[in-house]
Amino acid sequence: MEGLFITFEGTEGSGKSTQIHILTNRLLEMGREVMALREPGGTAIGEEIRHTLKHSASNAAMFPETELLLMNASRSQLVHEVIRPALCKGRIVVCDRFFDSTIAYQGYGREMDVQLIERLTEFVVGSTIPNLTLLLRVPLEVSESRRLTRLNSQPVAQRDRLEEEDRSFFERVERGYDAIAAAGGTRVRSIDATQAVEPVAAEVWRWVEPLLKVRPEQGERAFKTIGEYRNEAPG
Ligand code: TMP
């Protein structure tokens, strides 16, 4: 795959949407072909699954196992229908959440078996792993107050099942993101998102820009095919 795959992670109210908006505009202004996606969702099937997970009237009865599988069902559709084809065409894909959210929310938040989630993730995404994951960190109190403000201003019909969870759930999610940051190596970059929007955007750019340099302009290919190498081989 020759495109560039960037994901944003973080708890509610960490400012992901704003940063994704700034980054994608910047890339578009440079003439890059960019796709901004979200999880769960991002395809017609995925958006139906998103509705079931977040807003449907019957979703209070959902079991954690069902939630885990629906998150991955949405992801499977997104990977096959959108992400892989886009990367194969050399596009930049920016996704609001990806498999790290499942580790943080279902693995740590719901206290499900993280190794099982990793195996499921491998089945669903295969080699479609982000080149860069930007983890926007804010303290629990900040995300909690932003989440509660949003929750209280929503009409009842728009209620969000996941945002209704209690403080201990989000504490565990934070611990999940701590573990992801510690284990993620150079793929995962943590950013202090308590800063103002502009300094956060500058840090995002600091990690993204070097990855653009090693990639070709739209339409060119970064790597030769095996056949091209063979054609060049002496004798
Ligand atoms: P958001 O698009 O407003 O961030 O809402 C998505 C919600 O779904 C958010 O509460 C995080 C949650 N989520 C999971 O629990 N597991 C996942 O794998 C993903 C992608 C999201």
Rounded to whole angstroms, how far apart are CA atoms 66 and 57? 16
Minimal CA–CA distance to 6: which of 31, 32, 44? 32
Rounded to whole angstroms, how far apart are CA atoms 23 and 29? 10
What is the model's pLDDT at position 230? 32
List phi, psi (to 5°) of 34.
-125, 140
Domain boundaries, position 204: 4-232
What is the model's pLDDT at position 155? 73
Find the helix or strand (DSSP H, E) in which 191 lies.
Answer: strand 188-192
The CATH number for 128's domain is 3.40.50.300
Ligand 1 proximity of 133 Cβ (cutoff 6 Å): no
Encode pLDDT of 83-122 as tens digits.
999 999 999 999 999 999 999 999 999 999 999 999 999 9
CB 87 within 8 A of CB 221: no
Ligand 1 proximity of 121 Cβ (cutoff 6 Å): no
How confident is the model over 65-92, as a mean pLDDT?
Answer: 98
Q: How far is the CA of 10 from the centre of ligand 1 (A)?
A: 10
Domain count, the chain: 1
Q: What is the pTM of this model?
A: 0.90
Query: Mean pLDDT for the chain?
Result: 90
Strand 4-9 vs strand 132-137: parallel, antiparallel, or unpaired? parallel
Rounded to whole angstroms, how far apart are CA atoms 52 and 49? 5
Instruction: Please give the order of strands across the beta sheet that includes 188-192.
Output: 34-38, 92-96, 4-9, 132-137, 188-192
Lowest mean pLDDT of 141-155, 158-172, 191-205, name the range: 141-155
Encode pLDDT of 36-68 as tens digits.
999 999 999 999 999 999 999 999 999 999 999
Ligand 1 proximity of 13 Cβ (cutoff 6 Å): no
Torsion sign over Cα 46, 49, 53, 56? positive
Which ligand 1 atom minimizes the distance to the CA of 74?
A: 20
How confident is the model over 4-9, as a mean pLDDT?
Answer: 98
Neighbours of 26 (CB within 10 A): 16
Encode pLDDT of 18-34 as tens digits.
999 999 999 999 999 99
Which amino acid is it at 163?
Answer: E
Higher pLDDT, 201 or 164: 201
Q: How far is the CA of 92 from the centre of ligand 1 (A)?
A: 22
